[in-house]
Amino acid sequence: MKTNYTKNEEKRYLTSLSLMITFALFFIVGISTQNINAQSGAVIYPTDDAYQRYTNGTTVYGQQESLLIQFHTDGQWRREAWLKFEIAGLDAEHFDSATVILSPLSTNANIISPMHTIRETTTNWSELTLVSAKKPTLIDVVLDSKEYTPGTPIKLDVTNILKTRLAEEKDTISFNIRPSSVAGALYFHSKESSQSELWPVLLLKGTTVGLIHQGDEGIRFKVANNKLIVSGRESIKTTIFDVTGKVILSKQEAQNSYSINISDLISGIYIVSLQYETGNKIVKIML
């Protein structure tokens, strides 16, 4: 952990942290840059998203600005999408529904309306390396299915499976989305799209819990048994703020895993800043 900041470095860091905390507080009171049919809730963006041919696909499409989904009986012509989300720190008791939302490109206007299904997959994949031979294993249970209506986002319910995985203390969850009836090629915005308000999302309603800023994917975080557990990097500095921005707790230890007792905190919403020398992570929690 770097501690010998110059005055200019310290000023830049404090300014950056202040802006991110302010941004987090905007989320708490319901002001969000995300505008998916004016729905409110905690918005979680995918850490990875990609599409691929079901068979014989050798080109990686993980950094395209769109996700292509297309039905075909021949696997080498069928395109499917994969999405992965970080869910560490979420609490199943603090949301009522969870929905994966894909927003279509305007080029889909004249496409007929096929059904789309969503299934869970294993999480051992990356958008940077996803080819047909490295597809994650499909858990062949349809979680939800929806018909595509031109110009309208597809909204697929994943509430039950997300609550189940959180009960198992999983840190990530992954999904496959495929068409189940004949149609032309459908394009949806990916997280690389220039229109960030149309990125794919996992929308949690009935909660204010979620990831605010992902600056270092190596930092892990969860709340369990009245403890805040931090891991993944050595010498992480953890700071807990209340909704006014006041520091409630602060702790730093040299090892790459430690816990903080939060049993004395009253019920409410808090912002947690996890600072490491190469980046940081900001999460909002509800106790």
**Contact 52/135 with Cβ under 8 angstroms?**
yes
What torsion, rounded to 10 degrees, do the Cα atoms 286, 190, 165, 169 define?
-60
pLDDT at 110: 60
For residue 203, how many C-alpha atoms fall within 13 Å in the half-sphere facing its CB? Answer: 24
Tens-place pLDDT, residues 152-186: 899 999 999 999 999 998 989 999 998 876 666 78
pLDDT score, position 208: 46
pLDDT digits (tens, 9 = 90+) for 52-85: 988 888 898 889 999 988 877 776 667 899 999 9
CA max distance for the chain: 63
pTM comes to: 0.63
249 and 260 Cβ atoms separated by less than 8 Å? yes
Nearest-angstrom CA–CA distance, 17 and 190? 28
Count how many residues are written for the chain: 287
The answer to whether 134 and 122 have CB atoms below 8 angstroms apart is: no
The tokens for 245 are 């921005």
Residues of the chain with pLDDT under 50: 1-3, 5, 11, 13-15, 19, 21-39, 208
Delineate the domains of the chain, giving CATH numbers in brackets: 7-30+210-286 (2.60.40.3080), 42-205 (2.60.120)
